[in-house]
Amino acid sequence: MVIRVKVNIPRSHPRYESLLLREKIVDAMIEGVVVPEGLIAHGRGECFDYLIGEKTRDFAIKAINAAAARLVLASYPVISVNGNTAALVADKIVELAHELNAPLEVNLFYYTRKRAEAIKKILEKYGADLVVGVDDRSKEIKGLEHERGKVSPRGIYRADVVLVALEDGDRTEALRRMGKTVIAIDLNPLSRTARKANITIVDNIVRALPLLVERVKTYKKKSREELARLLDFYNNEEVLREAIAYIARRLTKLSREYK
Ligand code: ATP
The CATH number for 212's domain is 3.40.50.12640
172 within a domain of the structure (yes/no): yes
Is residue 109 a part of any domain in this protein?
yes
Distance 191 CA to ligand 1 centre (A): 7
124 alpha-carbon distance from chain centroid: 19
Ligand 1 close to Cβ of residue 202 (< 6 A): no
- Asked whether residue 251 is assigned to any structural domain, the reply reads no
Q: Structurally, how many domains does the chain consist of?
A: 1
Substitution candidate for ligand 1 out of 42, 51, 148, 186 with most atoms within 8 A of CB: 186
Residue 175: its pLDDT value, please? 95
Q: Give Rg (Cα) of the chain.
A: 18
Could you say which DSSP state residue 144 is in?
Answer: -
CB 176 less than 6 A from any atom of ligand 1? no
For ligand 1, say whether the CB of 111 is within 6 Å of any of its atoms: no
Q: For ligand 1, atom 13, which residue shows the shortest CA distance? A: 41
Query: Helix crossing, 16-30 with 36-51: angle to 10°?
Result: 160
Is residue 115 in a domain? Answer: yes
Integer CA distances (angstroms), 103 to 38, 56, 152, in order: 23, 27, 10
**pLDDT at residue 166 in the model:** 86
Q: 124 exposed, middle or buried (CB, 10 Å; 0-12, 13-18, 19+)?
A: middle
Low-confidence residues of the chain, pLDDT below 50?
A: none
Task: Identify whether 34 is part of a domain.
Answer: no
pTM for the model: 0.96
Determine the Cα–Cα distance for residues 28 and 212; give it in Å rounded to an integer.
Answer: 24
Per DSSP, 56 falls in state -
- Ligand 1, atom 19, lies closest to the CA of 45
Strand partners, 165: 185
Rounded to whole angstroms, the Cα distance separating 157 from 85 reads 20
> Would you say 82 and 167 are in contact if contact means Cβ atoms under 8 Å apart?
yes
**Considering Cα of 90, then 96, then 101, then 106, what sign does the dihedral take?**
negative
What is the Cα–Cα distance from 68 to 231, expressed in whole angstroms? 10
Is residue 158 domain-resident?
yes
**Residue 173: which domain range?**
58-244
Q: Is residue 78 part of a domain?
A: yes
Atom of ligand 1 nearest to the CA of 205: 28
Q: Is residue 82 part of a domain?
A: yes
Beta bridge partners of 34: none
90 membership: H or E segment, kind and range: helix 83-100
> Which of 49, 56, 148, 166 is the best mutation target for the ligand 1 pocket, counting ligand atoms within 8 Å of the beta carbon and taking the most?
166
pLDDT for the residue numbered 22: 94
Among 164, 188, 244, residue to substitute to test ligand 1 (most atoms within 8 Å of Cβ): 188
Classify the phi-psi angles of 102: left when phi > 0, otherwise alpha if psi is within -120 to 50, otherwise beta.
beta
What pLDDT score was predicted for residue 9? 85
In this prediction, residue 145 carries a pLDDT of: 84
Give the H/E segment covering residue 150: strand 150-151
Contact criterion met (CB below 8 Å) for 138 and 153: yes
